[in-house]
Amino acid sequence: MQTHAVRVRDLRKTYGDRAVVDGVSFDIEQGETFALLGPNGAGKSTTVEILEGYRRRSGGEVEVLGADPGTAGLDWKSRLGIVLQSTSQSGLATVRELLRQFAGFYPDARDVEEVIAAVGLEPQAKTRISRLSGGQQRRVDVALGIIGRPELLFLDEPTTGFDPHARREFWDLIRILQTEGTTILLTTHYLDEAAQLADRVAVIAAGRMQAIGPVAGFGGSEARVPLVRWTEDGVSREQRTDDPFGFVTTLGARLGRAPADLEIVRPSLEDIYLRLVAEAEAEAEEHGLTSADLADEAADTTGAGR
């Protein structure tokens, strides 16, 4: 019995002699929320666009909902929901009119009024898209992504432009979709969003998978060793240790007083992410390639295969 919604093996995408995606492999289980994280130019968006069928891969194997995205047809596409980073919807239609139009494209669409309420646009239901704020238009994008009751939902930086309250409401909506068994692939620059919503997290940088695993314990035990910071003789110092309280006791005994500016930090998902990205980019620079170079390559071919 198939348990994975997405299966990727040794995925590669090259432009000339440059590999934007270089041997990436991962699975996403049915019903799982999987966060794919990485800086601009890391290969993250290229990977997602290949899974969506919008961009052709150069090598490797990809299976999404049991089909190859490069050759799958309209029936397969109707099982997906996609919220892109930016879209250009008809400005003349109202929110309700646009959703009704899109609902007609799917065999088992959600109720339009329920979707409008779910994304918090009931007061704007009769408002033309062109008159909505940027954040409200982003909510329309999300509504269009879920109207078809997708088996697999791609969310590419979905809360960009949302205020903090709207982000929390969006998280509540995602949790409803999770209880319904929807598989979700999320990309976001908000690390707290990934920590709140994802079952597993993967970090891609310099075109390669740097780490993958459950949010709890991500990066392994070594990455989560606590960090003790203090000031000694006017100099800021720090030390990683598995026993921070014992270290502080020993330090205080050596100094003959409580250490100044003492701080004990347990690495968060964001701390681990930043370390992984910094290490990957340093290695890439040693080979004469930066994330900016990779971003330029991807931007030059945006829309390929659409």
Place 305 in a pLDDT band, splitting at 50, 70 and 90. very low
What does the pLDDT look like over 149-202, one tens digit per residue?
A: 999 999 988 887 777 887 888 888 889 899 999 999 999 888 889 989 999 999
Quick one: which of 63, 81, 25, 8 has its CA closest to 212? 25
Q: Note the pTM of the prediction, 2 decimals.
A: 0.78
What does the pLDDT look like over 288-304, one tens digit per residue?
A: 655 444 454 445 444 44
Across the range 260-269, mean pLDDT stands at 85
Quick check: helix, strand or coil at residue 133?
coil
Q: HSE-up of 6 (CA within 13 Å, CB side)?
A: 29
pLDDT at 49: 93
What does the pLDDT look like over 199-256, one tens digit per residue?
A: 999 999 888 998 888 877 776 666 678 889 999 999 999 888 989 999 999 999 999 9
Is the model's pLDDT at 28 over the cut of 90?
Answer: yes
User: 279 or 182: whose pLDDT is higher?
Assistant: 182
Question: What are the C-alpha distances in Å from 2 to residues 66, 145, 152?
Answer: 8, 24, 15
Q: HSE-up of 45 (CA within 13 Å, CB side)?
A: 22
Across the range 93-110, mean pLDDT stands at 93
Q: How many CB atoms lie within 10 A of CB 228?
A: 20
pLDDT at 21: 94
**Consecutive H or E run containing 77:** helix 74-77
Give the distance, in angstroms, between the CA of residue 243 and the centroid of all CA atoms in the same chain: 33
Q: Above pLDDT 90, what percent of the chain?
A: 48
Place 3 in a pLDDT band, splitting at 50, 70 and 90. confident
Across the range 44-69, mean pLDDT stands at 94
Across the range 42-62, mean pLDDT stands at 93
pLDDT at 213: 87
Phi, psi of 210 (to 5 degrees): -95, -35
What does the pLDDT look like over 107-148, one tens digit per residue?
A: 889 999 999 988 889 999 999 998 988 778 888 988 999 999
> How far is the C-alpha of 268 from the C-alpha of 215, rounded, in Å?
10
Tokens matching residue 198 = 């994802």
Angle made by CA atoms 8, 14, 16, in degrees to the nearest 5? 170
Is the model's pLDDT at 2 over the cut of 70?
Answer: no
* Least confident stretch, 8-17, 124-133, 260-269: 260-269
Place 265 in a pLDDT band, splitting at 50, 70 and 90. confident
DSSP type of residue 110: P
* Topology adopted by domain 4-79+151-219+269-300: Rossmann fold (3.40.50)
* Least confident stretch, 4-8, 68-72, 164-168: 164-168
Q: How many CB atoms lie within 10 A of CB 153?
A: 23
pLDDT at 285: 73
Tokens matching residue 42 = 């890391």
> Is residue 37 within 8 Å of 188, Cβ to Cβ?
yes
